[in-house]
């Protein structure tokens, strides 16, 4: 009786396997993935194929991973405008406080006929020097046209520049020649410079501003 039961069970198992193998797995519909999808087989499992009768590695599909399309955003860097820096080719004589003409009003030489002390109330920064003025009007005149009122040769001694070097100045040793202000180290040096003003100016013009590189 037990032997007959085993035979019956074997026949039933064989029948089930026959029906299973008759179904072709490739006939089952496969959903087509979107163009932005990517099918990734993530594992290979060695499982026995009951139809083949031997252990054959088969690919086990673990599902479709939607990858999508990532659009890289455009990064606008923008344009950084940098100001144009004009090279400073002229250096002005200043005292220990950074004042041009030792704080004397440059416009006063022209409008008042002589040196007048400037005020900390009326100042203007130009060519890396601080210029002081006796009045707001003088300051505004200078701001409108600094080259007209600033002393020649960067405010250095006119005699020294004619001789090929630079030296400090005394605001009281001054003279206006052809509408331009010239300063000297002191009044004694000024008298020496005045012995040949045209010649000394011509020689100083030839030396300036090249001597700044040597001083």
Report how many helices (DSSP H) and strands (DSSP E) the chain contains, helices first.
7, 8
Mean pLDDT of 135-164: 98
Whether the pLDDT of residue 15 is over 80: the answer is no
Whether the pLDDT of residue 205 is over 90: the answer is yes
Mean pLDDT of 115-139: 97
Which pLDDT value is given to residue 214?
78
Cβ–Cβ < 8 Å for 142, 112 = no
* More confident site: 36 or 132: 132
Between CA 142 and CA 155 the distance in angstroms is: 15
Whether the pLDDT of residue 23 is over 50: the answer is no
Mean pLDDT of 110-138: 97
Whether the pLDDT of residue 71 is over 60: the answer is no
Whether the pLDDT of residue 199 is over 90: the answer is yes
Between CA 167 and CA 47 the distance in angstroms is: 101
| pLDDT tens, residue by residue, 75-115 | 343 333 333 333 345 689 999 999 999 999 999 999 999 99
- Tell me the helix, strand and coil percentages in the chain, rounded to 5: 35, 25, 40
Most confidently modeled range among 16-30, 40-54, 59-73, 185-199: 185-199
27: its two tokens: 């006939």
Which pLDDT value is given to residue 82?
31
Cβ–Cβ < 8 Å for 139, 125 = no
CA dist 52 to 15, 57, 61, 154, Å?
A: 16, 11, 20, 104
Summary mean pLDDT of the chain: 74
Q: Would you list the DSSP string of 6-44?
A: HHHHHHHHHHHHHHHHHS-GGGS--PPPPTTEEE---EE
The DSSP element (H or E) to which 146 belongs, if any, is: helix 146-149
Percent of the chain with pLDDT over 70: 58
Cβ–Cβ < 8 Å for 129, 92 = yes
**Distance from chain centroid for Cα 16:** 80
């Amino acid at each position: 009786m037990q032997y007959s039961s085993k035979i019956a069970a074997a026949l039933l198992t064989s029948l089930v396997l026959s029906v299973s193998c008759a179904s072709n797995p490739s006939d089952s519909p496969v959903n087509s993935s979107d163009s932005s999808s990517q099918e990734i087989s993530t594992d290979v499992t060695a499982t026995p194929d009951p139809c083949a009768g031997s252990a054959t590695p088969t690919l086990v599909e673990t599902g479709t991973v939607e990858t999508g399309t990532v659009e890289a955003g455009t990064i606008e860097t923008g344009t950084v405008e940098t100001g144009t820096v004009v090279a400073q080719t002229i250096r002005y004589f200043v005292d220990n406080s950074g004042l041009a003409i030792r704080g004397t009003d440059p416009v006063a030489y022209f409008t008042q006929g002589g040196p007048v002390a400037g005020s900390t109330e009326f100042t203007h920064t130009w060519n890396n020097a601080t210029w002081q003025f006796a009045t707001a009007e003088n300051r505004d005149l200078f701001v409108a046209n600094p080259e007209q009122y600033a002393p020649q040769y960067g405010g250095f001694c006119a005699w020294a520049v004619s001789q090929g070097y630079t030296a400090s100045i005394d605001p009281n040793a001054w003279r206006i020649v052809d509408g331009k202000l010239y300063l000297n180290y002191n009044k004694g040096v000024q008298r020496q410079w005045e012995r040949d003003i045209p010649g000394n100016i011509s020689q100083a013009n030839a030396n300036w501003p090249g001597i700044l590189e040597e001083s």
